């Protein structure tokens, strides 16, 4: 069973993504901020992380930087899911090492397709 970590501080997004990925037989972990995301990633090593950027305490950019510098976590696939949708935001996210960048609002069908493609 593939493991996915959903990192977002918006309860509605978390609930809908959790439902969708559980239905697709993923083991789902939830983090409401970046610090919690790092802790969960270290303890459970997910296959993929859906990562919001704008969050309290530790933002998504900081989480991604931490993951990429960690020997145990740097192979985890990361998709940024963010309301920050300017070209400069997208380029920064990809330069930092995200595998994909999807702007909110997003199509859950497209997101699922991207996740499955990355996990092949």
Q: Could you state, in order of their start, the residue ranges of all structural domains in the chain?
A: 3-118
pTM of the predicted model, to two decimals? 0.97
In the block, tokens 């083991």 appear at 27
Encoding tokens for residue 49?
A: 């992380």
> How far, CA to CA in Å, does 13 sit from each of 94, 106, 113?
22, 10, 17
Place of tokens 């993923």: 26
Q: Does domain 3-118 have CATH number 3.40.50.620?
A: no
Average pLDDT for residues 25-31, to the nearest whole number? 98
What is the arithmetic mean of pLDDT over 55-79?
95
Alpha-carbon torsion, ordered 22, 28, 34, 40, to 10 deg = 180
In this prediction, residue 29 has a pLDDT band, given cuts at 50, 70 and 90, of: very high
Token representation of residue 12: 């509605």
């Amino acid at each position: 069973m593939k493991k996915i970590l959903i990192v977002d501080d918006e309860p509605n997004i978390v609930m809908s993504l959790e439902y969708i990925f559980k239905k697709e037989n993923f083991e789902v972990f939830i983090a409401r901020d970046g610090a919690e995301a790092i802790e969960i990633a270290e303890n459970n090593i997910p296959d993929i992380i859906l990562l919001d950027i704008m969050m309290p305490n530790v933002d998504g950019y900081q989480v991604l930087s931490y993951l990429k510098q960690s020997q145990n976590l740097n192979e985890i696939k990361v998709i940024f899911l963010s309301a920050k949708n300017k070209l400069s935001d997208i380029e920064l996210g990809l330069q930092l090492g995200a595998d994909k960048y999807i702007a909110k609002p997003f199509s859950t069908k497209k997101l699922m397709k991207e996740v499955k493609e990355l996990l092949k």
